[in-house]
Amino acid sequence: MIAAIKGKLGAKSGDRVVIATAGGVSYEVAVPLGVLERLPNTGNEVELNTALVVRDDGWSLYGFDELDERTLFERLLGVNGVGPRLALAIVSTLGGARAVKVLKEGDVAALCTVPGVGKKTADRISLELKDKLRDLGTSELTGAAEVPAEQAVQALINLGYSTVDAEKAVRQVLSDGGGDEPANLIRGALKLMVKRK
């Protein structure tokens, strides 16, 4: 298992980053929105805790800057019917701290705001994980404030945009280095979405 990757951040694009290691190998790593936002500019050193997912169609790496987020992702993968894309979407849409809180409380309505999660899936995830997250949340993860990217996505959803479109636009703004304040992210995302129409 590849537990962590350390190297220079080579590129940020959508939900993926490229990390060039000292050994000359570059890894493509899928990351949640909050992690993408917290990463430094390209060219800087970065270290991510990773989860390797092996499937018939290939191997994929998923990166997290907090161990609790990686643990949450791995436990989500243990739920029947939850693949890596959906697990990443949950961590990305809700953020690590909020996802833990939502799952512990069995908040199905909040889970249903994640793209690809319907009521039946939300019920199953909530039921299977409700009592399996006791060790999460005692760390800084649950005390963490909502990150600006999550605030920006929520504001765009409140304006009537879909969760998918809002997250995609905010990711693009972050990849382009468009600021770390919610207002700047919202402005940049709105400009992108207006151009797409």
Whether residue 35 sits in one domain with residue 15: yes
> What pTM value is reported for the model?
0.75
pLDDT of residue 168: 82
Other Cβ atoms less than 10 A from the Cβ of 47: the count is: 12
Q: Could you tell me if 62 and 30 are in contact, meaning their C-beta atoms sit under 8 angstroms apart?
A: yes
Closest CA to 33 of 96, 127, 113: 96
Alpha-helix residue ranges (DSSP H) falling in 52-118: 67-77, 84-94, 96-105, 108-111
Are both 86 and 46 inside the same structural domain? no
Same domain as 38, residue 51: yes
Q: Identify the CATH number of the domain in which residue 33 sits.
A: 2.40.50.140
Q: List residues bridging with 50 in a β-sheet.
A: 63
One domain for residues 98 and 138: yes
Torsion of CA 17, 76, 86, 48, to 10 degrees: 0
Residues 84, 129: one domain?
Answer: yes
CATH number at residue 98: 1.10.150.20
The number of folded domains in the chain is 3
Asked if 72 and 130 sit in the same domain, the reply is yes
- Quote the strand ranges of the chain, DSSP E: 4-13, 16-20, 26-30, 45-55, 58-64
| pLDDT at site 137 | 66
**Whether 107 and 162 share a structural domain:** no
pLDDT at 138: 41
Q: Long-range contacts of range 115-121, CB-CB < 8 Å, 24 or more positions apart?
A: 115/89, 115/162, 115/163, 115/164, 115/167, 116/85, 116/86, 116/89, 117/86, 117/89, 117/90, 121/81, 121/82, 121/86
Same domain, 49 and 73: no
Q: What is the pLDDT along the chain (197 residues), one digit of tens a residue?
A: 789 999 999 998 878 999 999 999 999 999 998 888 888 889 999 999 999 999 888 899 999 998 999 999 999 999 998 999 999 999 988 888 888 888 988 889 889 888 889 999 999 999 999 888 888 864 444 334 457 777 888 888 878 888 778 888 887 888 777 666 778 888 888 888 887 66
Q: Residue 180 belongs to a domain with what CATH number?
A: 1.10.8.10
- Residues forming beta bridges with residue 45, ordered by sequence position: 8
Q: Please give the pLDDT value at position 18.
A: 96
Q: Are 117 and 125 in contact (CB under 8 A)?
A: yes
Give the structural domain span for 112. 67-143
Looking at the fold, whether 129 and 162 belong to one and the same domain comes out as no
Q: Quote the pLDDT of residue 144.
A: 44
For residues 32 and 75, state if they share a domain: no
